Amino acid sequence: MYLNLVIRMKLANKPGNLARVLTIIAQEGGTLGAIELISASPSCVTRDLMIRLNSREHLKRLVSAFEQMPEILILRISDRVFISHQGGKIEISPKRPILNWEDLSLMYTPGVAGVSEAIAAEADMAYGLTMKGNSVAIVTDGSAVLGLGDLGPYAALPVMEGKAVLFKKFANIDAFPLCLNVHEPGEIIDVVAACAPAFGGINLEDIAAPKCFEIEEKLAARLDIPVFHDDQHGTAIVTLAGLINALKVVGKSIADVKLVISGAGAAGVAIAKILINAGVSDLIVCDRKGAIARDLPPRQPSKLWIAENTNERCVHGQLKEVIAGADVFVGVSAPSLLNREDVMKMAEKSIVFALANPEPEVEPKEIYDVAAVIATGRSDYPNQINNALAFPGVFRGALDCHARVVNDQMCLAAAQALAGMISEEALSVENIIPSLFNEQVTPVVATAVRQAARKTGVSREFQVKPVAAVK
């Protein structure tokens, strides 16, 4: 795991001292960021150095090297990641000030009583008169936190806070982490359903498969607001968007390619479904045991769906065997499952989406001259397949039209809109997906989602009726 550090050190104020420090950092494979001057005197200089290192072992060697230099004193080593999380990352801020008693009477009692009565008479007025119309609950039980596994609800909270920050930054949506200390599907469903009146949508996050499928399905049937499992559908939307453009780069048709997926968890199942809806016909999904096929049907319902809807030829074998002749590989599984020789067995102009994070299924640097197009889940390589390109726009569009659900057509529309943001002139092997910081991503995706919701009859746009004037 990478370390992002701030090292505060005092150096003797002599020429060449800082250069020696930078040389040692480079020798240990460190990446230097900003250098800040904290204080200076004729005898010494105190500086903060922002450094990125590959491991704690590198840090130990770096500190040992500094300690051998009598003119350098390390004052403090701080982890920049932990600093950025200190005190949490979100807060509640009022939209309107309360400066006096009159403000208080309008915002709270007695004025709020009239608003409550109006909503009691017509529940849909909550969309315009409360936070409901622009709020999402981010729900987890902490059973599948990032790629770290079952860490529980407390450890999930910083991740959910981060998700809330992204909702606000990219879509101006107010999102609230709900980290639940219950783990059975029925318990999670009951808790979320009980909390639902306050929210315009539910974002399920970091809930382990297979229970995530049951939770999403039953909540969607029980509630009249969108329920969206981002680990499934967000990943699927961005993957399809990237694939649409990657196929343009290599001049292949989505209907004609052989495509292999590694991973039959939440993301793998959702990617398989959206790819089939988009026109992929030759699709094989592999789990730890190898290719999933209908002649040896698995018991798990989600994998049974895969068996019944993919691998028409009932191909068997491990991933390394099945990938031979494939045009496209999509990995949402585990690191280092493939190597250069495996990718060389794929078809000409192959496409590799190695999305395991932080370590991909195959290292891009091993196959840069073999695969025609490479995408990963990481920000330090081109073509990052990042869920944040999808979920802000999906929820923005769904909230804006008060959608009841997020259906397959809305997800397809989001993927196609996202792919369409890369013009034919800009399209290249290293530019198949827009930047996360492209300000047009969320509006474009939201518009497509809203239009698809209207077209499929799941929107319920209405105007909040004004409260009758007092006569």
Exposure of 143 in the CB half-sphere (CA atoms within 13 A): 18
d(CA 94, CA 40): 43
443, 165, 391, 363 alpha-carbon torsion, rounded to 10° = 110
Dist CA 309 CA 301 (whole Å): 12
What gap in Å lies between CA 156 and CA 146, rounded to an integer?
Answer: 9
Question: What are the two backbone dihedrals, phi and then psi, of residue 175, each rounded to the nearest 5 degrees?
Answer: -120, 145
Whole-number Å distance between alpha carbons of 198 and 208: 25
Report in angstroms the alpha-carbon separations of 107 from 103, 113, 203.
6, 10, 29
Sign of the dihedral through C-alpha 309, 311, 316, 318: negative
Which among 127, 132, 163, 303 is annotated as catalytic?
Answer: 163
Query: What is the number of other CB atoms lying within 10 angstroms of the CB of residue 234?
Result: 26
Q: What is the 3-state composition of the chain as percent helix, strand, coil, each rounded to the nearest 5? A: 45, 20, 40
What is the DSSP pairing of strand 282-287 with strand 201-204? unpaired
For residue 245, what are the contacts with CB-CB under 8 A and spacing of at least 6?
419, 422, 427, 432, 433
108 in active site = yes
- 87 Ramachandran zone, left/alpha/beta (phi>0; psi -120 to 50): left
Contact 283, 310 (CB under 8 A): yes
Q: Which residues, including other chains, have CB under 8 Å from residue 433's CB and lie 6 or more apart?
A: 238, 241, 242, 245, 375, 383, 384, 385, 389, 418, 419, 422
Can you read off the two tokens belonging to residue 283? Answer: 């699709």
Provide the 8-state DSSP code for 177.
E
Give the tokens for residue 388. Answer: 């944040």
Residue 135, number of CB atoms within 10 A of its CB: 18
Determine the Cα–Cα distance for residues 412 and 275; give it in Å rounded to an integer. 9
The residue ranges of DSSP E strands in 159-247, in sequence order, are 174-179, 201-204, 227-229
- 163 catalytically annotated: yes
2, 108, 154, 368: which is the annotated catalytic residue?
108
> Catalytic positions, please?
108, 163
